[in-house]
Amino acid sequence: MPFFNVRMGCSKQMKKMIELNHVQYSYILPSGERIQAVRDISFTIQPGEHIAIIGANGSGKTTLVQLINGLITPDSGWVLVDGYFTSDRNHHADIFSKIGLVFQNPRDQIVASLVEEDTAFGPENLCLSHSEIRERVAASLTMSGALHLKERQTYLLSAGETQRVALAGVLAMRPACLIFDETTAMLDPQSRKELLDVMTTFHKQGFTIIHVTHDLDEVLTADRILVLHAGQLVLDGSPYEVFKDEKALREYSLILPDLLKFTQDLRSYFPDLADFYRSEEALLTDLGKIPRSGVGGERTNKMIQQNDLEEDFIHFNHLSHTYMAGTPLAQPTLQDITFSLAKAESVGLVGHTGSGKSTLLQHLNGLIRPQQGMVRIGEFDLSRADVDVKTLRQQVGLVFQLPEAQFFEMYVGDEIAYAARTLGYTGKLRDLVQIAMQAVGLDFEQFVDRPLFSLSGGQKRRVALASYLVVQPQVLLLDEPFAGLDPLIHQEMIQLVNRLKEEGKTLILSTHTMRDLLQIVQKAIVLHSGKIVSQGTTVDLFFQPDLHDWGLEIPLELRIAEALRKKGWEIPVEMVRWDSIVGWLRTRMAGGVDARF
């Protein structure tokens, strides 16, 4: 296309923030194989729009946002950002300063070793004055909730903290459009809420927001949702339009957001509810109109005593850990941790980002050795220098928070077989690998020989889970294992972990997703700034007065149950699963209670 015509085209379309026209993009693997990630996509985004992008793992979301900010350019078709073609090298700086992209893996975005320096990196490259840089750094760190981290070493930050710092670096460039690629995935519920509020605030201030997420409840407030499937744009519409056809969603590996699913269930009992709510507040307001029908349920509030957990297969005794101990950068991370777990028992480990969960788990497979205090697992005393770590790791499987941190091999098949090989497994490895890949929804033929670096975020996560499944050690340590999985496979993985649990595995599940916690474990330990502040049943956990301070929140189904309870529905407090709450409502209705309002 001649340059002149292109510029003419631009001037007519100056109002558009972003325009894609028949964009195609393929990755070429070292083997020469082409992976077509984006197929003939066209759409426009107006300035100030709030767009959500959803779709299964590998559907092309990350590729698409990288095409938008010019990190990669189309094989054919074009992308126009505020009047500039992303393929026009002369305007790369203009595009980068317009579009701020917070990466799916935030560590890829950190350049400096000190947080403050990292945030200053972008503005420094714009050759701004010292005072302007200082002002931008402080404002950006404040907006992303990372001001308290400003003097910290970037490589020692937890995953959630890294996400905040990455966001600050982007904000410091003062972009007009902010793209978040699964930025909420590693955050604790409170931080997640805060980040969503940040997005809403930026949107109100006129920023264009593009939000890629697997959490479908987060997209209900968007102006428009783009649904990707196998590299194609298959739906582009309002949240109402996108979610009205549940069958079509399934084809794209999507499900209904919880809010809409719960609304659907409630509507069979309370038919006057609307069929679509964009916010939980709106649903709760309508639920509030249901007439009183009885007295509120009593809360038992019985905490499990320390002793209830004291049969020890796994035992932590006054464990403390400080990173960079003895240096001015010393970072106390665990303090006086004491708890025990019996064989075949399972427990959830929850707490704000950076509370020490990953550090605690890494003590159990010998990755970190006790500095102070003791850790024992079965006959292995990890405080002893001569502990047989190799044998220990045959019995203790750790699925890391960031899957790439655990990869040793180049290719998917080798990686999944790795642990089995090192343990001297002699059976038919190929068959084992195939079964494990099937269990995590990775097509064997398509993926077995793929280099790991070429996988999407969620595909990497599936490989990490599959490598655990090949060996199936007795102890299963899961560190935020479901982050980044698309909604359908997320549900399947929960069922899988529950099956493993029923088979008698000892399980510690660290998670920020309160619903996952409820669906898998009955007991939970809360870490707060490196200390255990609570341990008990998950039911009791949700009635703890400090829940908010610990960075946690009650899951949506319990908030709905609580709202109904306040209106006089006597839903028993120990009822924490949505199925049982709906079941209870069904029996009430069978008893002839008229719930119409």
Ligand X SMILES: Nc1ncnc2c1ncn2[C@@H]1O[C@H](COP(=O)(O)OP(=O)(O)OP(=O)(O)O)[C@@H](O)[C@H]1O
Site residues for ligand X per CB under 6 A: 27, 29, 35, 37, 55, 57-63, 104, 454-459, 486
- Across-strand partners of 479? 510
Q: Which of 59, 73, 104, 365 binds Mg ion (CB under 5 A)?
A: 104
Residue 495 buriedness (CB in 10 A; 0-12 / 13-18 / 19+): exposed
Structural tokens at position 274: 């609307």
- Shortest distance in whole angstroms from residue 302 CB to ligand X: 41
How many C-alpha atoms does 71 have within 13 Å on its Cβ side?
A: 13
Q: How far is the CB of 58 from Mg ion (least distance, A)?
A: 8
Task: Give min distance, CB of 289 to ligand X, in A.
Answer: 39
Q: Name the residue type at position 204.
A: K
Q: Which does 122 bind (CB under 5 to 8 A by kind): Mg ion, ligand X, none?
A: none
Task: At 215, list the tokens.
Answer: 């959490």
Q: Long-range CB contacts (< 8 A, 24+ apart) of 493-500? A: 493/440, 493/465, 494/519, 494/520, 496/439, 496/440, 496/465, 496/469, 500/472, 500/476
Element (H, E) at 208: strand 208-212
Using the contact rule CB under 5 A, the part of the chain among 9-17, 99-107, 142-150, 565-573 near Mg ion is 99-107
Question: Among ligand X, Mg ion, none, what does residue 70 contact (CB within 5–8 Å per kind)?
Answer: none
Instruction: Work out how close the CB of 163 gets to ligand X at its nearest, in angstroms, rounded to a whole number.
Output: 15
Of the pair 37, 466, the CB lying nearest ligand X is at 37
If contact means CB under 5 to 8 A according to the sort of partner, which of Mg ion, ligand X, none does residue 123 touch? none
CB-closest chain residue to Mg ion: 62
Q: Which is nearer to Mg ion, 115 or 159 (CB)?
A: 159
Question: Among ligand X, Mg ion, none, what does residue 140 contact (CB within 5–8 Å per kind)?
Answer: none
- Interface with Mg ion in residues 438-477 (CB under 5 A): 457
CA distance 52 to 221: 9
Q: Which of residues 493-532 bind Mg ion (CB under 5 A)?
A: none
Q: Site for Mg ion (CB under 5 A): how many residues? A: 4
Nearer to ligand X, 485 or 539 (CB): 485
Cβ at position 456, least distance to ligand X in Å: 3
CB environment 312-337: b (16+ within 10 A), e (fewer): bbbbbbebbbbbeeeeeeebebbbeb
Q: Which residue's CB is nearer to ligand X, number 39 or number 244?
A: 39
Task: Name which of 219 and 527 has its Cβ closer to Mg ion.
Answer: 219
Nearest distance in Å: CB 95, ligand X: 19
Within 10 angstroms of residue 514's Cβ, the number of other Cβ atoms is 25
Write the secondary structure of 367-436 as one string of H (helix), E (strand) and C (coil): CCCCCEEEEEECCEECCCCCCCHHHHHHHEEEECCCHHHHCCCCEHHHHHHHHHHHCCCCCCHHHHHHHH
Q: Rounded to an integer, what distance in angstroms lies between the CA atom of residue 131 and that of residue 209?
A: 28
Residue from 59, 62, 162, 183 touching Mg ion (CB under 5 A): that is 62
Give me the helices (H) in 503-576, please. Answer: 514-520, 538-541, 556-566
* Closest approach of ligand X to the CB of residue 111, in Å: 20
Q: Which residues, in sequence order, are CB contacts of 317 under 8 Å at separation 6+? A: 338, 373, 374, 375, 376
Nearer residue to ligand X within complex by CB, 59 or 154: 59
Tokens of 573: 């407090």
Give the residue at shortest CB distance from ligand X: 458
> C-beta of 486: minimal distance to ligand X in Å?
6
Taking the least distance from each CB to ligand X, the nearer of 296 and 451 is: 451
Instruction: Choose between 457 and 555: whose C-beta lies nearer to Mg ion.
Output: 457
In the bound state with Mg ion, the residue whose beta carbon lies nearer, of 62 and 346, is 62
Q: Which does 459 bind (CB under 5 to 8 A by kind): ligand X, Mg ion, none?
A: ligand X
- Give burial (CB, 10 Å; 0-12/13-18/19+) of 578: buried
List interacting residues with Mg ion (CB under 5 A). 61-62, 104, 457
